[in-house]
Structures are given as structure tokens and as C-alpha cells.
Amino acid sequence: MNNIDLVQEFKITSYIIKINALNNKRVKKYLKQALRKMMIKDNMIKYIIKRSMK
């Protein structure tokens, strides 16, 4: 259940390549943006689950 599929593995590799090409300042900015998007996605999933349980 915690394993990732091939598409997700490809995305991770793609992100690693992009991150390695950035300097420290840009990496920090990129990671902050990625974390924000992940949190928004998390909130959307929680909302959908909460709504479906009503």
C-alpha cells in the first residue's frame, strides 16, 4: 500500500533532476512551493472524504 507505481517513480526522478540543477535559494523556494501544493492537495482529499461520509 505504501509502494509507489512506475509513473510516480518517474515523477520523482524528474523532480530530482530538476532540483539538482537549482542553487540553494531556488531549491528552498521550489520545495516551499511543492510543500504548499501537497498541503492543499491533502486538504482537498480530507474534504472529499469528510463530505462522502455524510
Could you report the per-residue pLDDT of 13-54, keeping only the tens digit for each?
A: 998 898 888 898 988 898 899 899 999 999 999 999 999 998
Please report which confidence band the pLDDT of residue 3 belongs to, taking 50, 70 and 90 as the band edges: confident
pLDDT at 1: 53
Rounded to the nearest integer, the mean pLDDT of the chain is 89
Query: φ and ψ at 21, to 5 degrees?
Result: -85, -10
